[in-house]
Amino acid sequence: MDVEIIQTKDGSHTLYSRQFDEIYHSRNGAVAESQHIFVRNGLGACPGNVINVFEVGFGTGLNALLCWEYAESKNIRINYHSIELYPVSDKLIGQINYPDLVGHKEKFQQLHAAKWNETVTLSENFTLHKINGSVLEMLFPTSSINVIFFDAFSPEKQSELWTIEVFTKMYDILALGGILVTYCSKSYVRKNMQQAGFQIEKLPGPHGKRDMVRARKNL
Ligand SMILES: C[S@@+](CC[C@H](N)C(=O)[O-])C[C@H]1O[C@@H](n2cnc3c(N)ncnc32)[C@H](O)[C@@H]1O
């Protein structure tokens, strides 16, 4: 994919995709957004010492890096699954400034060096399974995911990913009580989630954005 690095307001980089005319994170801060939506309101809302994560859109690997660090700091186990249709080139990954800002350069490199389509144990607390493919064609025969990071491009740019059908698929892979978190709180997106069976909660968004959504598969 034709992408270039741009800087967000907290100093962290993100990518701009010319193909989709879309950026990978909030312009108000990529690291701040990831910490708020996916780590604090996603992982932070999951009980237990073993958390199974499923991410839509591995992208730069920022969410994965912050989650790995979270697993080490809390001494819990995270099994991280992520699907990505357009892997980012090694050249660009080498220029992204996340290791300068949040540290853990070696971890960042390991996340990207990990083979696709197999489970890799990166530490006692963290396994990674990157799937190279489309979430639209994904076959994922499990209902053991505790939290989904729904981090696709926006519905304006990829409406086919924000449908009742896709949210039903997401609902099916969640364990009972599992959650889905996303930055998008548009009303038709929330309606599609509800149609798929989710209970919706609107939460304050990261700095500069009004809302985010946490959707739950009730017990
Ligand atoms: C908003 S960005 C994700 C940012 C990423 N989570 C990160 O931390 O850098 C959306 C991602 O979804 C990927 N994507 C687009 N279409 C997809 C599809 N059909 N299936 C899986 N991933 C897709 C894009 O290539 C991009 O990496």
| Homologous superfamily of domain range 29-216 | Vaccinia Virus protein VP39 (3.40.50.150)
Statement: residue 43 has pLDDT above 90: yes
pLDDT value at position 75? 98
99's CB contacts (< 8 A; 6+ apart) are 105, 108
Statement: residue 208 has pLDDT above 70: no
Q: How far is CA 106 from CA 35, 112, 136, in A?
A: 20, 10, 32
pLDDT value at position 209? 72
Tell me if 57 CB under 6 Å of ligand 1: yes
Tell me if 24 CB under 6 Å of ligand 1: yes
19: its two tokens: 């193909």
192 or 2, which is more confident: 192
Ligand 1 atom, smallest distance to 149 CA: 6
- Site to probe by mutation for ligand 1, drawn from 84, 88, 147 as the one with most ligand atoms within 8 Å of Cβ, is 84
Rounded CA separation 34/36 (Å): 6
139 or 15, which is more confident: 15
pLDDT value at position 146? 97
Locate the domains of the chain by residue range.
29-216
Q: Are 65 and 96 in contact (CB under 8 A)?
A: no
Average pLDDT over residues 38-57: 97
Average pLDDT over residues 191-202: 98
High-pLDDT (> 70) share of the chain, %: 100
* pLDDT tens by residue, 100-150: 999 999 999 999 999 999 999 999 999 999 999 999 998 877 789 999 999
